[in-house]
Chains A and B, each alone.
Chain A
Amino acid sequence: SQQGEEDPQALSIQEGENATMNCSYKTSINNLQWYRQNSGRGLVHLILIRSNEREKHSGRLRVTLDTSKKSSSLLITASRAADTASYFCATEGQGAQKLVFGQGTRLTINP
């Protein structure tokens, strides 16, 4: 399975600090995506990084991808209370259009 595994499972930090979440996967991918899910809501797409890219930025988000280690990280800078949510990585395998999700990281930002 190419299911992503995320680390840590839960993270609690103070507002203003940076939050880093990691994702590992098992097989070759076409791209890797990060999603946010607020409690009781659907998932929201944050950012997509392709297998030939190493780093991507979007606002306060920075994603890195290391295909040699089959891992990715999501960095949220200057965290806010509104960033409290679960964050999921998802991989799209080569030749397959479906996304396989990891178990997620529960992020709590304390005011």
Chain B
Amino acid sequence: DAGVIQSPRHEVTEMGQEVTLRCKPISGHNSLFWYRQTMMRGLELLIYFNNNVPIDDSGMPEDRFSAKMPNASFSTLKIQPSEPRDSAVYFCASRTTGGGGYTFGSGTRLTVV
């Protein structure tokens, strides 16, 4: 099992540009979560999906952020337009809906200059 796969690993972009982060969860995992990690705010849950349906997006900071899960094996987190304060490490995680621990991806380090 390759685990949760995120791409890209690093992204440097200019303010105002659109950024798309990608995630492939573990096959058979029905729940998918997007987190953001910064020194100041720690790990924040942005949004999560069950069976490809968004359940809770209350953590999405602004309308500039959007997430989709078109099928069970792929999700995207999009920021448009990006701002320097969006600089962070973005993690995707998945698990079965039966509960248990999350499996995290290696993260995408986003730098907006």
Contact = CB atoms under 8 A, between A and B. Distances in A.
Interface of A: 31, 33, 35, 41-45, 48, 88, 92, 96-104
8 contacts: A33-B101, A35-B102, A41-B106, A43-B93, A97-B48, A97-B99, A100-B45, A104-B42
Interface of B: prevailing SS: strand
Given A42-B107, A43-B91, A45-B101, A99 B45 contact: yes
Contacts of A100: 45
Contact of A43 (B99, B100, B104): B104
B42 A42 contact: no
B12 interface: no
Contacts, number: 49
B97 A97 contact: yes
Contacts of A44: 104
Contacts of B107: 41-42
A103 B102 CA distance: 17
Given A42-B91, A88-B43, A103-B42, A97 B104 contact: no
A92 B45 CA distance: 12
Nearest to A103: B42
Interface string B52-66: 000110000000000
